[in-house]
Amino acid sequence: MSIAPKPQSALLIVGHGSTENPDSSAPYFEHAAEIRRRELFAEVHTCFWKEEPSMREALYMIDSGEVYVVPDFISEGYFTQEVIPRELDLTGRSSNVRGKTLHYCQPVGVHPSMTGLLLQRAREIAPDANPAETTLIITGHGTGLNQNSTKAIRDQVGLITASGAGFAHVTDAYMEEQPFIAEWDKLSPTENVIVVPFFIADGLHSYQDIPVLLGIEPEVGPAASEREVFRHNPHHLRGKTLYYSSAIGTGRHMADVILDQVRDFDLAHGEHTTSL
Amino acid sequence: MTLSARLQSLIDAGVHRIGELEIRLETAGHSFLLCHHLDAEAAGREDFGGLEIHHGPDDARDLSTWSEDGGYRFAKAQTNLRRGWVMLLADIDQLRLALDGFYPAAVGVFAAMLDGTLDIQNLREKLERQTGMYRFARTISDEGAQRLVREVCGPAHQCARRILWRLNDNTPLDDSEASRYNGVPGEIPENEAIPLLCREACNHMVAECRRVAKEEAGK
């Protein structure tokens, strides 16, 4: 779904980024480029926690007086509730910072439209797998820092189970907390298993760490952009047929989810179509 | 005044360099040409001296992601921008987008400094507001922090930024190549360049402060 043009406003997409793996920030730039092409905002920028521009310098790049800030993050958690507000000097849903009005939107991963993207991704990577004979695992990082970080995934499991998509079993699994993704075969009552990483980028976790936990790779390999051989589904492992997807955030439809969050902000907090 | 207009006025006043980039005017029907400053002579030839040609600002991120030797340039002010290309830009807005790709926010930060509106955060304030795993960085000693500036910052460690911050209001950085650096790589007058500015310690520096703080605490 699209939104009305905001020619007086800027869009600022906030990502995590990495000092180790440039693939981590690639989707954010792609989402920004896609939205820039649609000419809905006066300016579209990205900023990062681990890369440049940092959140601390992002406002120096922006001319517009009104800025929609969308965390291109997969869940509510430590980054969206602590780090981003702190780094951008946010004081509430709308804040005045350095003479600009910043509107803080919800992270992309908690938007209801993510359910459709997950189901679409599952169909794409395993078109021949009958859902009634297939387990769908949505996998994330998991952390002790903030209990909300797994909520988005648990919510999606509930929504997909209730959606009538017909999977034999749908479950969540994590790298660092139970249920562990390393035990994917024990979590799956069926022979067919689809694993979709609930991450924005095919960075360190979804492209390098989780394949080792699944057993696809014997050890942590090079980054996606440095590999010469691409992986092919399905993988026949542990007596099962495993389909492993790229990170959910790498799809071009994520640009629509960013715009959905801007629209939902306006619906929840009133229209902000002009510069304040 | 928009940032594009500010950039144009800087160029009109004789600025032609930012970081390792040389900005050339009115080349082969394009308003601006960007290249590595060490490629400027080849870029001035009619056929661009065989340099790889890029049209528009979109490739700025790709060109600035990897160094010549294949290293990942997560800090964009690293002094290892790869050579061998020119970028042709149609107008000042394209130039600004390209510069924000190579040196994110550098034009805006410099404009804010000229206006007297640049916020500078000293290292102690920066460390004090860290949370999570970086909270421990605040325990670093002054001596440890001063040593890290010498060992992490400045052109000897591939960072081309001019450091504007101090340890705290009363404690300037010790004199060193890193603390003296003017943010302008290459031998040109300062008024011909937009300097790369460091208005607060980067996250790499914060991570290093945490590492040293742990060592100091014997952990």
Tell me whether residue B190 is exposed, middle or buried, using C-beta atoms within 10 angstroms of its C-beta: 0 to 12, 13 to 18, 19 or more: exposed
Taking a contact as any Cβ pair under 8 Å apart, which residues of chain B between 111 and 140 contact chain A? 111-112, 117-119, 121, 129, 131-132
Strand partners, B88: B33, B55
Q: Residue A49: give the domain boundaries.
A: 6-109+252-269
| Residues A105 and A121 grouped into a single domain | no
Question: Is B97 touching A (CB cutoff 8 A)?
Answer: no
| Residues A44 and A128 grouped into a single domain | no
The tens digit of pLDDT for each residue in A177-220 reads: 999 999 999 999 999 999 999 998 887 888 888 999 999 988 88
| Residues A23 and A103 grouped into a single domain | yes
Q: Looking at the complex, report in whole angstroms how far the Cα of residue A150 sits from the nearest Cα belonging to chain B.
A: 18
Residues of chain A with Cβ-Cβ distance to B75 below 8 Å are 19, 52
Domain holding A156: CATH number? 3.40.50.1400
Distance CA B159, CA B68 (A): 16
The answer to whether residue A127 sits within a structural domain is yes
CB contact under 8 A, A54 and B203: yes
| Residues A181 and A217 grouped into a single domain | yes
Question: Is B71 touching A (CB cutoff 8 A)?
Answer: no
Q: Looking at the complex, report in whole angstroms how far the Cα of residue B109 sits from the nearest Cα belonging to chain A.
A: 6
Query: Predicted ipTM?
Result: 0.92
Mean residue pLDDT across chain A: 90
| Residues A147 and A41 grouped into a single domain | no
Model confidence at A222, in pLDDT bands (50, 70, 90)?
Answer: confident
| Residues A118 and A200 grouped into a single domain | yes
Amino acid at B203: N
Strand partners, A134: A192
Which of B2, B202, B203 minimises the CB distance to A63? B2
The answer to whether residue A208 sits within a structural domain is yes
Distance CA B156, CA B140 (A): 23
| Residues A52 and A175 grouped into a single domain | no
The tens digit of pLDDT for each residue in B28-49 reads: 677 999 999 999 999 999 889 9
What is the spatial order of strands in the sheet that A235-237 belongs to? A169-174, A134-140, A192-197, A240-244, A235-237
Tell me whether residue A193 is exposed, middle or buried, using C-beta atoms within 10 angstroms of its C-beta: 0 to 12, 13 to 18, 19 or more: buried
| Residues A115 and A243 grouped into a single domain | yes
CB contact under 8 A, B132 and A63: no
Question: How far is Cα of residue A252 from the mean position of the Cα atoms in its chain?
Answer: 12
DSSP per-residue string spanning B153-184: SSGGGTB-PEE---SBTTBPPPSSHHHH--S-
Distance CA A102, CA A49 (A): 18
Query: What's the whole-model pTM score?
Result: 0.90
Model confidence at B123, in pLDDT bands (50, 70, 90)?
Answer: very high
Distance CA B192, CA B21 (A): 12
Nearest to B2 by CA among B120, B97, B102: B97
The answer to whether residue A275 sits within a structural domain is no
Instruction: Kindly tell me if the per-residue pLDDT of A17 is higher than 90.
Output: no
| Residues A96 and A124 grouped into a single domain | no
| Residues A101 and A219 grouped into a single domain | no
Distance CA A90, CA A105 (A): 12
Instruction: Kindly tell me if the per-residue pLDDT of A149 is higher than 80.
Output: no
| Residues A241 and A120 grouped into a single domain | yes
What's the structural domain count of chain A? 2
Give kind and range of the element (H or E) at residue B11.
helix B3-12
| Residues A30 and A125 grouped into a single domain | no
Backbone angles phi, psi at B194, to 5 degrees: -90, 115
Beta pairing, strands A240-244 & A235-237: antiparallel
Domains of chain B: 3-114 (3.30.1360.190), 119-216 (3.30.70.2320)
Which of B76, B100, B131 minimises the CB distance to A61? B100
Structure tokens at A196: 């979709």
